[in-house]
Amino acid sequence: MKCKIALASGIVLLLCIVMLAGCGSVSTEASETTGVISAQQESEPSQKFKSATNYQEGKEYYKAYILYKEVPTNAVDYKEAQNCAQKALDLYWKQQDELIEKGDYEKAIEYTISSMSFIWLKSPLKSADGLETTILEVAEKLAESTGFTNPVATMKEAPIQGYLIDIDCDGVDGIEFESLSSETIQSKYKELDDKIFDVIYRESMSYASISLGEIHANGKWYGVKDEKLNVTADSEKVKEKIAERKNNSAIQNDNDSSSGAVTQEHENALSTAKIYYYEMYMSKQKIYDQLIYNGFTASEAQYAINHLD
């Protein structure tokens, strides 16, 4: 009888030992799991830092810049990440400049579009880092290669969808536009349009439709539609924009009279300058010259320039 009791006690004791061992195993596993989760949480900033470094090593500098910037302020690597971010951004612009300088425009545009897509940028005109600069510089280089003199590119939204690149220039091959035949202008426009299509549009079509808009020279705008050359004077363009603003109830009266004797002509010059500036993307110097050309006095033109936001 004692043997049976002893045997039973031994079995119970053995079961308890096994159970306790199991509990210890579960406890250990739970502890290890907690440790893994904690380690993962702690390593997230480091992982972002490493990913940024990998992008930089792969010469995808803008992506590296973005990830370095996203390292949180409480991370151990935060200060180093911010320094690396600035270096990566500098390397990105250096890379873009070098690509443009050697004429590898497709690669420069490819990097631009890839960078815009990486940050989910919906409009190239809303880039905080000025990513659209590369697109405009490439457009200017393409215009130069076509013969346009002193081209300056600007970008605007298209009436329906996509974006248009306008080129402001002095002429073609050193000759003013007004001295060129319609056939020559149309031919040069088409030549530039084809280049922009091949280099910029093809590379950007997965992201946005970016194509050639109009050529601006000597107070006139030149565009080709349905193989027909259209010419619009600045004054006509201004009237169109004013009418458009009125229809959209977008014109606001500027009652700023801080400069003293402000006449209606001063206000007219300012309204005209705003259209040149915000709708046609002309430089302030070009606007001043155009206002003088349109018959405004130097005082009225300067007032308009001074009051552009």
Residue 231 pairs with which residues in a beta bridge? 222
Q: What CA–CA distance (Å, rounded) separates 279 from 294?
A: 18
Q: What CA–CA distance (Å, rounded) separates 291 from 302?
A: 9
Length of the chain in residues, anyone? Answer: 309
Tokens matching residue 121: 């940028």
Report the SS3 class of residue 222: strand
pLDDT of residue 183: 93
Q: How far apart are the first and last CA of the chain?
A: 105
Average pLDDT along the chain, 309 residues, taken 10 residues at a time: 42 42 44 44 71 91 92 86 94 97 96 92 88 96 96 87 90 90 93 95 86 92 89 82 58 43 82 79 81 82 87
**Site of tokens 């194509």:** 211
pLDDT of residue 246: 58
Question: Do 282 and 276 form a contact (C-beta atoms < 8 A)?
Answer: yes
CB neighbours of 214 closer than 8 A, spacing ≥ 6?
A: 164, 166, 167, 221, 222, 223
Whole-number Cα distances in Å, 123 to 116, 130, 209? 9, 11, 11
Sequence-ordered alpha helix ranges (H) in the chain: 2-57, 61-69, 78-101, 105-118, 132-146, 182-196, 202-204, 234-247, 264-274, 284-293, 298-306
The correct CATH number of 252-306 out of 1.20.1250, 3.30.70, 1.20.272, 1.10.10 is 1.10.10
pTM metric for this prediction: 0.68
pLDDT of residue 245: 62
Q: Where are the domains of the chain?
A: 103-238, 252-306
Residue 271 pairs with which residues in a beta bridge? none
